[in-house]
Structure 1
Amino acid sequence: MASPKTSQSPTGGPRSPVDNIPAPDLAAPIAVDEDEENSELESLQSSTSTSITSSIRHYRYENGRRYHAYQDGAYPIPNDEKEQDRLDLFHHIFRLMNGGSLYRAPIPADAQKILDIGTGTGIWAVDFADEFPGAEVIGTDLSPIQPSWVPPNCKFYIEDVEGEWSNTGSAKYDFIHIRGMTGAIGDWHGLYKKAYDNLKPGGWIEVQEFNGELFSDDGTLAKATSVLEWQRLINEASTKFGKKMDGADDHQQRLIDAGFANVQDDIFKAPVGHWPKDKKLKELGRFNQVQVLDGIEAYSVALFTRVLGMSNEETQLWIAKARSDFKNPAFHLYTRFHFVYGQKPLTEE
């Protein structure tokens, strides 16, 4: 099964740990397990090295959720325990999709300095630090929600990546990792320019993102009218907010525009629900359904109330309607996850 797009193929150099785990053929429809059509949804739903000032912990509480204090309002997704649980599940989904690996780029085994942008709970950075004990791993985020007990080669900083890289911009990196920042970045081109400037020649960047668009191979998406309307509202609100939810298809070209070479976009289908016949996709779909059902509220509340001017009651009604469609086993919905990676040339033209 082949990946959909590539600018030019890498030649020589270290091999990625997932060389034998190719991206799937997007043209191949996901087979439906007919025995699941009438089944019930299984109850899987989810129940710093820094000088942080106290103001960073003065979080905003709004409509039953907790939001970042640093750069208040810049990121419309909560940072509370419910969202942290979803982020950790998200991490598991990415690893499950990628054969257990944390990345797809062919980074060298002796990589020395790693940056994880938008580290969230820090779970990716901690796992990477465990796998690369000789590397220094730095994670950045707007909130100090990372664990205090971490590997000695892992550190966290509070930093807005769209601002000055005061804590992380003083050294060149071998690998920069960005994941789950859909809806959080207003200027992707500016971010990729900073990443390019802060990578060593020959260093790699990898962007792991979900596509905000939904798909079906059998036409059942057209019947999920509540989900389609919710998706339209999310796209409208995020566009007005200046941080679009539906830009995952653009990352490959953005990296090329920033000067990266050997850029590849490996795209995976991620079912929502346990309707696929394939056992691995069924397992993936179970976890992704839980993540999506939790994520609907996480992504909706601030955008719908602050940007679209809805009441929380109206927002919760839309959330309930969308969840109902996502739980319907007759709707064979999936989204797409992108693993986009590229290399800073050894010599610049």
Structure 2
Amino acid sequence: MSQPNPHQQIQVDTSDDDSLFETKSCVGSNLSFASSVRDYCYENGRRYHAYRHGQYPFPNDEEEQDRLALVHQLFKLISGGDLYRAPIRPRDEPQEQTPLPRRILDIGTGTAEWALEIAEDFPTAEIIGTDLSPIQPNWAPPNCRFYIDDAESDWTFAPGEAFDYIHARSLNGGIGDWPRLLRQSFQHLRPGGWVEIQEFETLLTSDDNTHQHAPAVMEWLERLNVASKQFGKQINIATHIRPWMEAEGFANVTDDIYKCPIGGWAKDRRLKEIGRLGKLTVMEVVEPYTLALFTRVLGFTFQEAQEHMEKVRAELMNTKIHLYVLFHFIYGQRPVDETNGSSSDTPT
């Protein structure tokens, strides 16, 4: 298992070997948009969900689905291949002595890579994935099911359907009331069960102050945060999850933080590999994060948004700028002794 590294000073690789690699990898990496006969909504050349249209500001087209696959691989690479950090399967105990999860919920399952892999890891558990968009694969293991649902609505699971583990990842910018989401998660956990939220900060910085040479990137991030707040679904929430969980009564709350370089500039071989994928992922996120928020909320025209995105991409391609982003794996437990937990009860 990869260990958190928020205080690690990442050494810079001073060779030029990675510059050509990144140029070839990133240029032309945008994936083609394919139209669909499904009943979706279209805006600025991108496709958005139709169910509760407008509540989620990011697209769901094939280009976005490919980006989500990159994000899934990046989270796994950062965590050393692990799908979760919560101790739902203690590694220092024999498996036959460890009670395994029986019911697992994946909120905002998206293209369901995480749900499908966790279903393989826990073949005796029932895996449920929910999302606003029907973009999950047609085939799934027999222990894995998907439902179109809004996690911000009242959850309708029966008292006998409580979960042992609830997972959510990259919901930043898609949730308006995080305390309520965490409250419902707490209520639908079995005592002793875990909730894990995996998010990255919408903030890029550097240890050597080279981020000061990326003014367009810094302005883009600031405008994203302003627009998301005005939209009602703040995007830079990773650092708030832990106190929100503690306020809702979760025990043993832990925030494992990892540095993710943006680009292959790190000297460390593992961080260099993470950084290459991190850079491609950030390049791919510029358009889906920007279009709706900038045009719907900030009043940009499509052309103005495109021009701003081009400046951002140009700075991201500068190998002399050593940016990184912090990834958070936050997990907490519903107390077994309810007298020490939240006043919220399991739903009846």
Q: Secondary structure at the match of 1:43?
A: helix
Residue 28 of structure 1 and its aligned partner are, at CA, apart by: 2.4
What amino acid maps onto 2:305 in structure 1? T
Q: How does 1:137-148 map to 2 (within 5 A)?
A: 137-148=127-138
| TM-score, scaled to structure 2 | 0.89
Same amino acid, percent of matched pairs:
49
Unaligned 5+ runs, structure 1 = 1-17, 48-55
1:182 to 172, 184, 192: 172
In 1, Cα distance between equivalents of 2:213 and 2:30: 27
Q: How does 1:57-68 map to 2 (within 5 A)?
A: 57-68=38-49
2:155 to 143, 147, 165: 165
List per-residue Cα deviations over 1:285-304 (Å, max 9, x = no partner): 11111111110101000000
Question: Is the contact made by 2:166 and 2:195 (CA closer than 8 Å) also made in structure 1?
Answer: yes
List per-residue Cα deviations over 1:114-164 (Å, max 9, x = no partner): 000010001100000011100000000000000011111000000100002
What amino acid maps onto 1:91 in structure 2? H
Q: How does 1:98-177 map to 2 (within 5 A)?
A: 98-108=79-89, 110-166=100-156, 171-177=161-167
2:57 to 49, 55, 76: 76
Question: Is the contact made by 2:18 and 2:265 (CA closer than 8 Å) also made in structure 1?
Answer: no
Residue 305 of structure 1 and its aligned partner are, at CA, apart by: 0.4
Q: What is the aligned residue count?
A: 321
What amino acid maps onto 1:309 in structure 2? G
Q: Cα RMSD over matched residues?
A: 1.5
Residue 244 of structure 1 and its aligned partner are, at CA, apart by: 1.1
In the alignment, which residue of structure 2 is the partner of 1:27? 7
In 2, Cα distance between equivalents of 1:171 and 1:301: 39
2:336 corresponds to 1:346 = yes
Residue 29 of structure 1 and its aligned partner are, at CA, apart by: 1.5
Question: Is the contact made by 2:18 and 2:264 (CA closer than 8 Å) also made in structure 1?
Answer: no
Residue 27 of structure 1 and its aligned partner are, at CA, apart by: 2.5
2:299 corresponds to 1:302 = no
In 1, Cα distance between equivalents of 2:51 and 2:17: 45
List per-residue Cα deviations over 1:60-106 (Å, max 9, x = no partner): 11111000101100000000000000101100000111110100000
What amino acid maps onto 1:208 in structure 2? Q
| TM-score, scaled to structure 1 | 0.89
In 2, Cα distance between equivalents of 1:38 and 1:152: 44
What amino acid maps onto 1:102 in structure 2? L
What amino acid maps onto 1:201 in structure 2? P
In the alignment, which residue of structure 2 is the partner of 1:4? none
Question: Is the contact made by 1:192 and 1:255 (CA closer than 8 Å) also made in structure 2?
Answer: yes
Q: Secondary structure at the match of 1:42?
A: helix
In 2, Cα distance between equivalents of 1:103 and 1:168: 26
List per-residue Cα deviations over 1:288-329 (Å, max 9, x = no partner): 111111101010000000001111000011111111111110
- After TM superposition, where is structure 1 displaced by more than 4 Å over at least 4 residues in a row? 167-170
Residue 46 of structure 1 and its aligned partner are, at CA, apart by: 4.6
